[in-house]
């Protein structure tokens, strides 16, 4: 009997959701034959078989969340076949136990997510259908106790008299929720706002490309915003390259593909990259590697609605620029009142790593380069 454990499907992802089984118990499969469709925060991936043999057990049902390194499929086989390279990279098997060592994501280290809880707390949480990741621990070294679960229950709003559909967050939305929680716990955010006067820009100016170019220029003038910060070691890393994460909304959740080396691209190239990312996000074909490594993020939420916001930073980055919907406004010029076009900007920065002076200089540089 051989056990195939769920491999890492995307550079440090801690879990994946079963979308569709392509095999059933009793099926005889070949090496590299697709076994199951798994959804992660990055993509939907077909996982191939590392062995030839007969399927003895499927460790999970459709829509079930499987942790990376947990059993996925058991085989009846005598074949000592080595793991095969595949679309998900090197596959871990039962012959190599899962190691909770550091995993590299881009240039930053992290550890597979885990929840530390006492057995009684786990049993109670399972009985009451509570997600332990939402419970605040009070035990030693971040251990969740049964009392913590009970206190969570007492604070949980009562919705018995309300109608509506309850659904578990899955795939991209689930990871988005976890990322936002991480940001809330780790980052000390401050947001500053200002308007950019776009009145003198030529007609049909590509505003998105203009903003990307302005971010590149501002990052050169004030590099403290184009950086990563490690709150545990209190170290920051400043980058010469400007890798801009572009927040893209979709029905599946929020994706942030990365425009790498934005400083090297022409206006036409930037527009093409943005268009290609929008298409690949909609089709769920965006590559996992394209969703990692941002040094700063742009959220152009004004394409939908809203003027000002407090955008959320995704660690280890230290800044995100939000662009609201542009509008006509009364502008004083040379002692005269004119009607011009302004764009509201909201810059959120991590005050642990960035000073107020650095942040305001960066925003001033963005505005200055937008108005050229």
Ranges of each domain in the chain: 2-101, 115-156, 179-370
Q: Which run of H or of E encompasses 360?
A: helix 356-370
The SS3 call for residue 290 is: helix
Could you give phi then psi for residue 73, rounded to 5 degrees?
-145, 140
Tokens in use for 188? 């000390």
Report the 10 Å Cβ neighbour count for 190: 14
Residues 304, 225: Cα–Cα separation, whole Å: 26
Provide the residue-wise pLDDT of the chain in tens; the chain has 372 residues.
Answer: 889 999 888 656 778 889 899 999 999 999 889 999 888 766 778 899 988 999 999 999 988 888 888 999 999 876 544 444 344 443 333 333 333 333 333 333 333 346 888 767 887 887 778 888 889 888 877 888 888 888 888 876 655 556 677 777 777 788 788 888 888 889 999 999 999 999 999 988 999 999 999 999 999 999 999 999 999 999 999 999 999 999 998 888 889 999 999 999 999 999 999 999 999 999 888 988 899 999 999 999 988 889 999 999 999 999 999 999 999 999 988 889 999 999 999 999 999 999 999 999 999 999 999 998
Strand partners, 296: 244
pTM of the model: 0.63
Dihedral-angle region of residue 95 (phi above 0 means left; psi in -120 to 50 means alpha; beta otherwise): alpha
Do 294 and 258 meet the contact criterion of CB atoms below 8 Å apart?
A: yes
Q: What is the pLDDT of residues 181-203, one digit of tens each?
A: 888 889 999 999 999 999 999 98
CA distance 223 to 253: 30
Residue 312 CA neighbour count, 13 Å, CB half? 15
CATH architecture for residues 115-156: Irregular (4.10)
Residue 37 three-state SS: strand
Q: What is the fold of 179-370?
A: Chloramphenicol Acetyltransferase (3.30.559)
CB 149 within 8 A of CB 124: yes
Q: Which CATH architecture has domain 2-101?
A: Beta Barrel (2.40)
Closest CA to 231 of 292, 316, 293, 314: 316
Domain 2-101 shares a fold with domain 179-370: no
């Amino acid at each position: 009997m051989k056990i195939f454990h769920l491999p890492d499907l995307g550079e440090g992802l801690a879990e994946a959701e079963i979308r569709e089984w392509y095999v059933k118990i009793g099926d005889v499969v070949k090496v590299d034959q697709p076994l199951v469709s798994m959804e992660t925060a990055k993509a939907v991936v077909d996982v191939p078989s590392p062995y030839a043999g007969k399927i003895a057990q499927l460790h999970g049902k459709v829509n079930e969340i499987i942790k990376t390194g947990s059993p996925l499929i058991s085989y009846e086989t005598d074949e000592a076949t080595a793991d095969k390279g595949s679309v998900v990279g090197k596959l871990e098997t039962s012959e190599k136990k899962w190691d909770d060592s550091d995993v590299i994501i881009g240039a930053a280290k992290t550890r597979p997510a885990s929840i530390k809880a006492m057995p009684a707390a786990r049993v109670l949480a399972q009985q009451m259908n509570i997600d332990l990741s939402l419970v605040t621990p009070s035990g030693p070294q971040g251990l969740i106790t049964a009392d913590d679960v009970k206190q969570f229950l007492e604070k949980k709003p009562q919705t018995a008299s309300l109608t509506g559909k309850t659904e578990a967050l899955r795939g991209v939305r689930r990871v988005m929720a976890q990322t936002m929680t991480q940001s809330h716990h780790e980052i000390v955010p401050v947001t500053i706002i200002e308007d950019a006067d776009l009145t003198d820009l030529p007609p049909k100016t590509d505003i998105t490309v203009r903003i990307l170019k302005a971010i590149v220029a501002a990052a050169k003038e004030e590099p403290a915003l184009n950086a990563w910060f490690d709150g545990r070691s209190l170290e920051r890393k400043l980058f010469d390259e400007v890798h801009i994460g572009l927040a893209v909304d979709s029905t599946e959740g929020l994706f942030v593909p990365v425009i790498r080396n934005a400083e090297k691209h022409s206006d036409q190239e930037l527009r093409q990259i943005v268009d290609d990312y929008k298409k690949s996000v909609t089709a769920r074909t965006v590559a996992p590697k394209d969703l990692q490594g941002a040094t700063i993020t742009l959220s152009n939420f004004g394409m939908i609605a809203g003027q000002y916001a407090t955008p959320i930073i995704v660690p280890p980055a230290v800044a995100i620029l939000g662009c609201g919907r542009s509008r006509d406004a009364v502008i004083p010029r040379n002692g005269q009142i004119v009607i011009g076009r302004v764009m509201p900007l909201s810059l959120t920065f991590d005050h642990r790593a960035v000073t107020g002076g650095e942040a305001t200089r960066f925003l001033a540089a963005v505005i200055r380069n937008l108005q050229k």
